[in-house]
Structure 1
Amino acid sequence: MSKGNFAVIGLGRFGSSVARTLINLGHDVLGIDKDEKKVEELSNILTHVIVADSKKEEVLQKIGIRNFDTVIVAIGHDLEANILTTVLLSQFGIKNIIAKASSDIHGDVLLRVGATKVVFPERDMGEKIGKGICSGNFLDFIDISPEYSVVEVIAPKRFLNKSLGSLNLRPKYEISVLAIKKRDRILVAPGANDIVEDGDLLVVIGENNKLSTCFEI
């Protein structure tokens, strides 16, 4: 893939995840958010970051938004900002506008006002988790927020006969193992030296997308 020039508007969990992924793939990424703290957190990671209100036409013009190949509208909770930003990007003639939607109706509105593609990250991840449960990977889960879950999962073959510490689940996936259910006992708050064995069930907590990646749903 050739190097692209992307802007991500809205640096919450979804937006920051998209922005980090694009950077890791070697693309240039401008991150935009009204929240100075969110912008600061990504200031040393993204190519450029700006504190700005994307609902204002003059702000987008000053940023030079027309210079970007693709703009991702990742604004989540502010529906007005999400839609108005998409409208303005369309008026600026942005070729690829990928917008985050929270419902089918919301997605339809975004397409009507200029989005070229609509994504449903929360719904799609929920479907992915559901498929994992049906496939037998996840035995049970508790949805504790739109982004986080506690799940009980069969220990994957690649985990067997390895210590928790050697699996590096926290550094790699930001996942914590709360307990290991063995055939004859339960290890609560297991340590780094505890070994994962055939037949073990792991009770873990983490972001849904990280859980999905780690356990290969």
Structure 2
Amino acid sequence: MRQKKEFVVIGLGRFGGSLCKELSDIGIEVLAIDKDPERIKEYNSVVSQAVELDAIDEESLIEMGIRNFDCVVVSIGEDIQASILITLILKEIGIKQVWVKARNDYHEKVLQKIGADRIIHPERDMARRIAHHIVSDKVADYIEISKNHSIVEIVASDKLNGKTVENIDAQEGFNCVIVAIRKSEDNLILLPSKTTIVDKNDILVTIGKNTDLERFEDKKV
């Protein structure tokens, strides 16, 4: 049986607090850390454990057993210096996965140099997703997976109604892959076959290079 992962979230601001709630809602064990006693009090009933602690204190982190956790998310908001120092401490004491919220590009560059495993830009990423919603009524959602590649949820129009995946020709004609089709909230077809029929308003979960996805959306959908 696969062991359930456990996470630490350091910093209970807007992003860190929301992350704690989402992880807890899906049954993930979360240890929340913040030096503000009021925030600890607020999230004490939300997470598995909430600890009042200044995460810059390396000895205190080790004493509380931080090495036993699978992933630590550093979501310090305003204090960039504290975010960098905590990330450095976590990597030096051997935390395998350290994810860090970056405030700006300078912050990101420093985090990259000291070994952060993943850097999160919640405001920038959300802005990009909203921008794609605004510019195209065909896009239901958008997730960037690299600088040049994305996963896009495209709403099937009248043009695609009744066509098979093979007829749509996403892969051969546009180098895009339809990895799933969502027909309703409880009806998701993963890795649809060439003969799977698409209906109007189906959501096509499509992965590819950004330029290819744009061509596919413009020409075919």
Q: Which range, TM-score by smaller chain?
A: 0.5 to 0.7
Structure 1 residue 118: Cα displacement = 0.5
For 1:82, the aligned partner's letter is S
Partner of 2:33: 32
Aligned sequence identity (%): 43
Residues 3, 26 of structure 1: 8 Å contact kept: no
Partner of 1:117: 118
Partner of 1:84: 85
For 1:126, the aligned partner's letter is A
* Distance in 1 between residues matched to 2:48 and 2:75, nearest whole Å: 18
* Distance in 2 between residues matched to 1:13 and 1:64, nearest whole Å: 25
Number of residues of Structure 1 aligned to a counterpart in Structure 2: 138
Unaligned runs of 5+ in 2: 139-221
- TM-score where L is the length of structure 2: 0.59
Structure 1 residue 131: Cα displacement = 1.7
* Distance in 2 between residues matched to 1:131 and 1:36, nearest whole Å: 40
Cα deviation, 1:120-159, whole Å, max 9, x if unaligned, reads: 001111112222221249xxxxxxxxxxxxxxxxxxxxxx
* Distance in 2 between residues matched to 1:131 and 1:39, nearest whole Å: 37
- TM-score where L is the length of structure 1: 0.60
* Distance in 2 between residues matched to 1:112 and 1:64, nearest whole Å: 26
Partner of 2:73: 72
CA RMSD of aligned residues (A): 1.7
Cα deviation, 1:80-131, whole Å, max 9, x if unaligned, reads: 1100000000011000000000122211211211211111001111112222
Bigger-Rg structure (1/2): 2
Please show how residues 5-84 of structure 1 align to structure 2 within 5 Å.
5-84=6-85
* Distance in 2 between residues matched to 1:83 and 1:63, nearest whole Å: 21
* Distance in 2 between residues matched to 1:24 and 1:4, nearest whole Å: 14
Secondary structure in 2 aligned to 1:130? helix
Cα deviation, 1:146-175, whole Å, max 9, x if unaligned, reads: xxxxxxxxxxxxxxxxxxxxxxxxxxxxxx
* Distance in 1 between residues matched to 2:112 and 2:57, nearest whole Å: 20
Secondary structure in 1 aligned to 2:54? coil
Cα deviation, 1:35-61, whole Å, max 9, x if unaligned, reads: 111111110110000011011111211
Please show how residues 45-194 of structure 1 align to structure 2 within 5 Å.
45-136=46-137
Residues 73, 98 of structure 2: 8 Å contact kept: yes
* Distance in 2 between residues matched to 1:10 and 1:90, nearest whole Å: 17
Secondary structure in 2 aligned to 1:86? helix
